Each structure stands twice: as C-alpha cells, then as structure tokens.
C-alpha cells in the first residue's frame, strides 16, 4: 500500500469532486488525465500522450480480452474496483495460457465522485499492475451525470503473449481429463456481500482478489498438459464447469468432499442460504489437465495457494444427461447447473 502515501497530484481544493467538464475534452479533462492517471500509471508508452499505445509484438501468438467492472461497493475487504479491474483482466489472459503484458483502462466516472477516491483507486490499479507485471499503456475517461454510475465503472482490456504450443480452450477438453481447483471457494462473494449489507459476520472474510498468472506460468513451466483453464468469477465453480462441459460437449463428475470452503464463508452461506459452488471467487481457477499430469498439477497449484484448498475435484466424462453431477458427503448425487437467476448482482 506504499503508493497510497502520496497525496492526489490534482489540486483537490479547486476540484474536490469530478465535474462533467472533466469528461468534456477540454482543459479539465486534459489535467485529469495528465496529472492524475498518467502520474499513477507512470510508464513511457502512456507518456507518449497519443490516441493509442504502440509496442513491439512480443510473441508470434497473442491473447486479447476485456472486462467491465461495476462492483458495488467501490472498496471492499481485500480489494477495490481498481485492483479487481486489473486482476480480472490479467486473470482472463492467464486463462488463455498467456503472459499478461499490456492493459488499457476506460473510466466512466460519475459527476460528484470524490477526487481523492479516484486517486486512491488509480493508485490501487497501479499497485495491482506492478504486482501482476503489466503496464497500463492507454486509457479513456468519460463522465456521466450524478446518479448514473455508482461512483465509477472501469473497463480494462488486456494483451498477453502465448509462448507455448498448447490449445488451452474448451474444445481441447476430453473425457478422462482431471479437473482441479486452485484454492478454496466463495471468499470474494461473501466479502462483497458483507461490505454491501454492512453485515457483521462473526469472522471477517476478505476477498481472494489476486493475480493468477504465476500459478499458470508454473503449470506451463512444469510441462503440464493443460487442456482448459477458467477463473471462477460470476456464477462460481458451477457455472465454469457446466459452461466448459457444454462448450466441449462432455460431462463431468465432481466430488463435494474435495472442495475447500473456509469456516467463515461456510457459516455465512448457511446463514444466508447461498451455495458456495455458485459464489464468485476472484483469485481461483479451475484447470482441466491430462489425467497422467493431475498429481503434478496439484503440487504446482498447492505451492501457489497461500490460503490452501488446491485439489483434484473430479473428472471429465463422456457426454451424459445430466451433464454435470456432484457426489455429496453420503454418496448422494445432485445435478450441477448454471444458476438461472441472479444470486448476487454487481459482484465484479
């Protein structure tokens, strides 16, 4: 959090809050971009002050992804919309098996947002980018009227380098593949819910918001035959497994006893009637790997799971109806499906 020591380089006394004119293309927007965003994201590509960033292609094959972030509240235990916006897109690149390189940042600011909060979020994005080894090289700022954007929405798009010959995507998944998760489930969902509802949970839960690139690069470095990767955001593990099963035209059998859910998340779920299988994580992913590599993959994931919970949780089967089943504690089986409604809006 060392980056937070510095005070906002824009004169807060003159402009304590974002004005519509900060998005108007004139002097105020120019100052906001050059004195706040360029100061926070400081790097030579961004400093060129042009309509876009130019850079040398770092590999023969590239990955490209985007996500918009509308999480409420802007700050929550373990993270904020700024760090979330960096890690989320970095993680989507990691899920393509790519090494994240460059991010763009598109801000939609609400008129009236406190300039100091914007500065904190920009600093948080810069710190997250340093941790994930990426640079924010191009951006855009719009301002909408009061009431239209909950403070701010952020979009990040990302470019990464694919430096291996695997085809990491749902179509590569085969019956017999081992299915692993990289850690315990549900922290982000419960942390955001608690922050939003000002729930006084018995034990505080922090979001698991974190970059996943190192764990994926370690799997690749170990020569693990990865078939597919998916981070467990909206819809949680259930949505990820069902979606990949549908896209790869396979089935899956999971074992509930293999899944780790920490005690505060478990008790919050019991209290509130949530299923941890459907809760969003922001620092966990599922990996589909060749069966012979399952043990080694688990070793790698365990070494990169500071909060534990990495596990082999099931296997891919031939297509079946129902597509995905999960075996419960007393050998009961239930069908796993995507949630059909809205469990918890605005989680990311």
Q: In the complex, what is the shortest distance from the CB of residue 331 to its own copies, in angstroms, rounded to a whole number?
A: 28
Q: Which stretch binds its own copies (CB under 8 A): 143-151, 174-182, 215-223, 289-297?
A: 143-151
Q: Which stretch binds its own copies (CB under 8 A): 1-9, 123-131, 324-332, 338-346?
A: 338-346
Is residue 291 close enough to count as binding its own copies by CB under 8 A?
A: no
Beta bridge partners of 324: 252
| Single residue of 173, 239, 245, 311 touching its own copies by CB under 8 A | 239
Is residue 112 close enough to count as binding its own copies by CB under 8 A?
A: no
- CA distances to 163, 228, 239, 260 from 304, rounded to whole Å, are 21, 18, 23, 15
| Single residue of 6, 16, 50, 303 touching its own copies by CB under 8 A | 50
Rounded to whole angstroms, how far apart are CA atoms 299 and 311?
9
Rounded to whole angstroms, how far apart are CA atoms 141 and 24?
9
Please report which helix (H) or strand (E) contains residue 228, including its range.
strand 226-231
Q: Which stretch binds its own copies (CB under 8 A): 19-27, 174-182, 295-303, 318-326?
A: 19-27
Rounded to whole angstroms, how far apart are CA atoms 191 and 51?
38
Is residue 143 close enough to count as binding its own copies by CB under 8 A?
A: yes
- CA distances to 91, 200, 287 from 308, rounded to whole Å, are 19, 25, 16
Site mask, its own copies, residues 57-76, x = CB under 8 A? x-xxxxxxxxxxxx------
CB atoms within 10 A of CB 66: 13
| Single residue of 32, 40, 81, 95 touching its own copies by CB under 8 A | 95
Is residue 225 close enough to count as binding its own copies by CB under 8 A?
A: no
| Single residue of 17, 35, 131, 142 touching its own copies by CB under 8 A | 142
| Single residue of 10, 18, 36, 96 touching its own copies by CB under 8 A | 96
Is residue 189 close enough to count as binding its own copies by CB under 8 A?
A: no
3-class DSSP state for residue 102?
strand
Cβ distance 234 to 315 under 8 Å? no
- CA distances to 31, 268, 275, 323 from 271, rounded to whole Å, are 48, 5, 11, 30
| Single residue of 12, 39, 117, 144 touching its own copies by CB under 8 A | 144
| Residue 328, CA atoms < 13 Å, CB-side half-sphere | 7
Q: Which stretch binds its own copies (CB under 8 A): 27-35, 36-44, 119-127, 320-328?
A: 27-35
Binding positions for its own copies, 156-175, rule CB under 8 A: 157-160, 162, 169-171
Please identify which residue in the block is written with the tokens 């947002």.
Answer: 113
Please report which helix (H) or strand (E) contains residue 272, including its range.
helix 263-272
Q: Is beta strand 311-317 parallel, antiparallel or unpaired with respect to 178-181?
A: antiparallel
Is residue 183 close enough to count as binding its own copies by CB under 8 A?
A: no
Query: In the complex with its own copies, which residue's Cβ is closer, 127 or 228?
Result: 228
Query: In the complex with its own copies, which residue's Cβ is closer, 145 or 333?
Result: 145
Count Cβ atoms within 10 A of the Cβ of residue 169 and give its class: 0-12 exposed, 13-18 middle, 19 or more buried: middle
Query: In the complex with its own copies, which residue's Cβ is closer, 24 or 295?
Result: 24
Is residue 234 close enough to count as binding its own copies by CB under 8 A?
A: yes
Q: In the complex, what is the shortest distance from the CB of residue 166 to its own copies, in angstroms, rounded to a whole number?
A: 11
Q: Which tokens go with 135?
A: 């640079």
Cβ distance 312 to 179 under 8 Å? yes
| Single residue of 122, 137, 281, 312 touching its own copies by CB under 8 A | 137
Is residue 272 close enough to count as binding its own copies by CB under 8 A?
A: no
3-class DSSP state for residue 190?
helix
| Single residue of 247, 303, 318, 335 touching its own copies by CB under 8 A | 247
């Amino acid at each position: 959090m060392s980056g937070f020591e510095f005070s906002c380089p824009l004169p807060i006394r003159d402009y304590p809050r974002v004005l519509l004119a900060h998005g108007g293309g004139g002097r105020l927007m120019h100052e906001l971009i050059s004195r706040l965003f360029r100061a926070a994201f400081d790097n030579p590509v961004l400093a060129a002050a042009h309509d876009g960033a130019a850079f040398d292609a770092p590999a023969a094959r590239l990955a490209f992804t985007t996500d918009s972030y509308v999480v409420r509240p802007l700050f929550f235990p373990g993270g904020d919309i700024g760090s979330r916006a960096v890690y989320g897109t970095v993680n989507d690149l990691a899920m393509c098996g790519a090494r994240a390189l460059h991010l763009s940042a598109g801000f939609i600011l609400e008129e009236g947002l406190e300039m100091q909060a914007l500065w904190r979020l920009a600093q948080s994005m810069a710190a997250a980018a340093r941790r994930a080894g990426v640079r924010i090289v191009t951006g855009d700022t719009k301002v909408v009227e009061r009431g239209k954007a909950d403070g701010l929405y952020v979009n990040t798009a990302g470019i990464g380098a694919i430096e291996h010959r695997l085809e990491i995507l749902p179509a590569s998944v085969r019956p017999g593949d081992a299915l692993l998760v990289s850690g315990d489930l549900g922290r982000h969902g419960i942390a955001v819910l608690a922050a939003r509802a000002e729930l006084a949970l018995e034990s505080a839960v922090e979001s698991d918001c974190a970059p996943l690139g190192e764990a994926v690069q370690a799997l690749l470095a170990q020569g693990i035959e990865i078939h597919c990767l998916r981070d467990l955001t909206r819809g949680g593990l259930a949505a990820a497994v069902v979606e990949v099963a549908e896209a790869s035209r396979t089935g899956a059998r999971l074992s509930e006893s293999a899944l780790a859910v920490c005690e505060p998340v478990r008790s919050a779920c019991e209290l509130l009637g949530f299923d941890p299988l459907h809760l969003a994580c922001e620092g966990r992913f599922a990996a589909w790997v060749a069966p012979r590599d399952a043990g080694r993959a688990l070793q790698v994931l365990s070494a990169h799971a500071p909060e534990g919970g990495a596990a082999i949780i099931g296997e891919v089967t031939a297509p079946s109806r129902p597509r995905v089943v999960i075996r419960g504690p007393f050998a009961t089986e239930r069908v796993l499906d995507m949630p059909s409604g809205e469990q918890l809006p605005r989680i990311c």
